[in-house]
Amino acid sequence: MIFTATSNTGNKQPGKSGRKIIMSNRKARHEFFVEDSFEAGIELFGTEVKSIRAGKINFLDSFCYVDKGELFVRGFHISPYEQGNIFNKDPLRLKRLLMHKREINRMYSYVSRDGYTLVPLSIYLKGGRVKLEIGLCKGKKLYDKRDDAAQRVMKRESERYVKERGRGE
């Protein structure tokens, strides 16, 4: 009997990264400069995964930290699953993030410096698994936020101007 290798890419669309973003933290990009980003798995229970898939999460005020060589996220709220009954866990329990030891040590070396922090940027599904994008961030000052807002307004006005000029000719 001869077996042939087949690819399992028939269901995927070309150009797609295979990520389904569940929620992103836009406030983090407003409050911080994102220097680098990392992907981490999350240690979850079954009912928590079902709540995340339903979008019943809030991580706007959450942050990550390193303790004894392990990475944790605090303030990450996962609402209890409605059909979960006794299997539901505490919504604000401490969740461990899964990364390689050398990546954790590299992040810790940055965080131990003044002004750097680890902030969750987005949560998404990748290959059926829940992943968390963590940003290595440095805080913005008020004038930095004003500059960003002014640049967004200028970009919006220039795009509007180009669009109107394109129709008029």
- Residue 148 makes CB contacts below 8 A (sequence gap 6+) with 30, 140
What does the block give as tokens for 31? 């409050």
The confidence score (pLDDT) of residue 145 equals: 76
The confidence score (pLDDT) of residue 7 equals: 35
- Rounded distance between C-alpha atoms, residue 51 and residue 91, angstroms: 10
The confidence score (pLDDT) of residue 57 equals: 83
Question: What does the pLDDT profile of the chain (169 residues) look like in tens digits?
Answer: 343 333 344 344 444 567 888 888 888 887 888 888 889 888 887 778 888 888 888 877 888 888 888 889 888 888 887 776 776 777 678 888 888 999 888 888 888 877 788 889 888 888 888 888 998 888 777 777 788 888 888 889 888 888 888 765 5
The confidence score (pLDDT) of residue 8 equals: 40
The confidence score (pLDDT) of residue 112 equals: 85
Beta strand pairing call for 57-58 and 19-24: unpaired
The confidence score (pLDDT) of residue 11 equals: 42
Is residue 12 within 8 A of residue 18, CB to CB? The reply is: yes
DSSP 104-158: HHHHHHHHTSTTEEEEEEEEEEETTEEEEEEEEEEEPPHHHHHHHHHHHHHHHHH
Q: What CA–CA distances, in Å, run from 113 to 62, 84, 97, 118?
A: 20, 42, 21, 12
Max distance between CA atoms of the chain, in angstroms, equals: 70
Domains and their CATH numbers in the chain = 19-140 (2.40.280.10)
CB burial class (10 A; 0-12, 13-18, 19+) of residue 42? buried
What is the Cβ-side half-sphere exposure of residue 109, based on CA atoms within 13 angstroms?
A: 5
